Amino acid sequence: MEDRLRHVVIGVGAGIFKSHLPALTTLPSVDLVAVSDINVVEGKRRADELHCTFYEDYRQMLAEVQPDVAIILTPPFLHARIAIDCFQAGCHVLTEKPMAIQVAEADAMIEAAQQSKRLLAVMFQHRFRPEVIAARKLLRAGTVGNVQRVELSAVWTRPSSYYEMAAWRATWAGEGGGVLTNQASHNLDVLCHLVGSPARVFAWTRRLLHKQIETEDTVQAMMEWSNGALGALHISTAEADDDERWKIVGTRGILELGRGTLKAQVLDVDITEYALQSDNPYAKPERYPYEVTLEAGAADFTSVYRSFHNAILHGSPLSSDGVDARMELELANAIIYSSYKHMEVELPLDRQGYADLLKDLQ
C-alpha cells in the first residue's frame, strides 16, 4: 500500500476548495485529518462532510495534529504568514496562487522552507497542460533555436459580480494587485516556466472597466531577456477576446500556443546563419511544419498534488516549487512597479522599493 501523508487544509471555507477536493478525497497518498477556517459554521459543515476534525485556530490544529502536509487556501495576504507557521510546525506546504502578494514575502517563505527542510509548492496546474509540456520540451531541446521574441495575449473576462464575491479581491491589501496577482499569475508562471524570467520590463497597468476595484484590470508590458530576446504581453479581465494566444519565435523555428493547441514550425537553416550566408537580399528561410504529439493528461489540481507527493515520498522533482513559483510573482511586482514609477525596471526587483510602493498604495 502506498505511503499516506497526513493532510490539513487551512481556509477550507474558500470557494477554491471545491477544486482541491478531488485530489484530497481520491489520491491514495492523502489522509485528510483536519481542517480549519475562521468561518466556524462553514468550516464545521465541511469537516462533517469530510469526516475529519475542525479547528477555528489553525495554529492549534498544527500543534495538536502535527500533520505532514498543510494546504493553504486563504486569501493571498495571509499566505506568507501561515506558510511560515506551517514550516515551523514541521509541515510541507502547498499554497494556492499567488504564493504571496509581494516578492519579499516569497523570499521569507522559501527561507523558512529551507530552514525546516520541508517542501514548498504552489498551485500552478497550467504547467501540466499538454501543450505547455510539449512546448517546454521543444524549447529545452533547442528545436526552435535561441528565443528571439515572445508574445502573449490572455483574457480572463470577469463581470463586476466576480469582484463582489470577496472583499479582498482586487485590493492592494488583500491581493497586492488585480488581474496581475490573480488570473495572470498562471500566464506569468507559464511564461517563466517556458523561457525564464525577463531581465527588465516596462509596463502600463490600467483600470479600464471595473471602476469599483482598487487595482488594475488590464496590463500591457514590454520585456527583455538577458540574451537580448524581446517580448510583449497583454492580459485583461475587461475584454472579451480569445482566452490565450502565445507566439515564441526562435532562430530556428516558431511555436504558437493556445488552450489545448500547439503549432510548431522549423526553418531549414538557422536565421543567424542565413543572415550571414544568403545571397538573396529579399527572401526568407523556408519554414516547414514540425509534427508535435501532445501527451494525454489534464492541467488539473490532482496533477499538482501527485507531483508534490512524489517529491515528498520519493524525492522526485517538484513541478512548481517555491523558487520557481517566485519568478512570476517577482515579474508581477515588477510590472506594477514599472507602471507606477513610469520607468524601466530591472530584475531582480528592488524589494524595499516595492514594499514602500505597496505601502503607499494600501
Encode pLDDT of 69-126 as tens digits. 999 999 999 999 999 999 999 999 999 999 999 999 999 999 999 999 999 999 999 9
Helix (H, G, I), strand (E, B) or coil at 244: strand
Quick check: 296 pLDDT over 90? no
Mean pLDDT on 53-73: 98
Quick check: 2 pLDDT over 70? no
Quick check: 289 pLDDT over 60? yes
Instruction: Examine the domain organization and report whether 94 and 168 are in the same domain.
Output: no
What is the reported pLDDT for 263?
A: 98
pTM: 0.97
Assess if residue 323 is contained within a domain.
Answer: no
Instruction: Examine the domain organization and report whether 313 and 344 are in the same domain.
Output: no
Mean pLDDT on 120-139: 98
The secondary structure of residue 165, as a DSSP letter, is T
Q: Which residues pair with 248 in a beta bridge?
A: 150, 255
Contact between residue 233 and residue 220 where contact means Cβ atoms under 8 Å apart = yes
H/E segment holding residue 266: strand 261-267
Helix (H, G, I), strand (E, B) or coil at 352: helix
CA 221 – CA 242 distance, rounded (Å): 18
Share of the chain above pLDDT 90, in %: 98
The residue to which cell 511555436 is assigned: 255
Instruction: Examine the domain organization and report whether 348 and 201 are in the same domain.
Output: yes
Instruction: Examine the domain organization and report whether 122 and 132 are in the same domain.
Output: no
Assess if residue 167 is contained within a domain.
Answer: yes
**Which residue range is the domain that position 205 belongs to?**
127-297+328-352
Assess if residue 66 is contained within a domain.
Answer: yes
Encode pLDDT of 346-356 as tens digits. 999 999 999 99
**Residue 32's pLDDT band (cuts 50, 70, 90):** very high
Encode pLDDT of 174-213 as tens digits. 999 999 999 999 999 999 999 999 999 999 999 999 999 9
Instruction: Examine the domain organization and report whether 80 and 152 are in the same domain.
Output: no
Instruction: Examine the domain organization and report whether 157 and 236 are in the same domain.
Output: yes
Mean pLDDT on 273-299: 93
Assess if residue 265 is contained within a domain.
Answer: yes
Considering the chain, what is the average pLDDT of its residues?
97
Contact between residue 69 and residue 6 where contact means Cβ atoms under 8 Å apart = yes
Quick check: 1 pLDDT over 50? no
> Of 190, 234, 240, 189, which Cα lies nearest the Cα of 216?
234
Question: Total structural domains in the chain?
Answer: 2
CATH code for the domain of 274 = 3.30.360.10
Assess if residue 362 is contained within a domain.
Answer: no
The secondary structure of residue 294, as a DSSP letter, is P
Encode pLDDT of 328-349 as tens digits. 999 999 999 999 999 999 999 9
Contact between residue 265 and residue 281 where contact means Cβ atoms under 8 Å apart = no
CATH code for the domain of 90 = 3.40.50.720
